[in-house]
C-alpha cells in the first residue's frame, strides 16, 4: 500500500503523516509513505486544501488532519 501526504510541509501535514503512520501500524499494514510537496503535483490530484491524504492513488481526504481512527476506517473501507 502506498500512502501519500500532500502538503508543502506545514504543521498539519506533519501531524497527518504521524497519524497515518500510527493507523497503518495499528492495522499491521506495511505501507510506503511518500510526501508530495510540489504545488503542481498536489493540484494534479485535484486537492485545493492541504493536507491531502492519498491511498493507492485515490484521494481519500483533504483539508483536514484526520485522527488515526478515521484513517484506519478509510484504509479498511
Q: What are the residues binding other proteins (CB under 8 A)?
A: 7-8, 10-12, 39-40, 42-50, 59, 62-65
Respond yes or no: is residue 10 known to be catalytic: yes
CB of 40 to other proteins, least distance (A): 5
Catalytic residue (choose from 1, 2, 10, 34): 10
72 is annotated as an active-site residue: no
SS (H, E, C) 53-68: EEECCEEEEECCCCCH
DSSP, collapsed to helix, strand or coil, labels residue 5 as strand
Q: Which is nearer to other proteins, 4 or 50 (CB)?
A: 50
Measured CA to CA, the distance from residue 68 to residue 45 in angstroms comes to 22
Residues with catalytic roles? 10, 13
Amino acid at each position: 500500500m502506498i500512502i501519500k501526504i500532500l502538503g508543502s510541509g506545514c504543521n498539519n501535514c506533519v501531524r497527518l503523516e504521524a497519524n497515518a503512520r500510527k493507523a497503518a501500524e495499528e492495522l499491521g499494514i506495511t505501507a510506503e509513505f511518500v510526501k508530495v510537496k510540489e504545488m503542481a503535483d498536489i493540484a494534479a490530484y485535484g486537492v485545493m486544501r492541504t493536507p491531502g491524504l492519498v491511498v493507492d492513488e485515490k484521494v481519500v481526504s483533504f483539508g483536514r488532519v484526520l485522527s488515526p481512527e478515521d484513517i484506519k476506517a478509510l484504509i479498511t473501507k
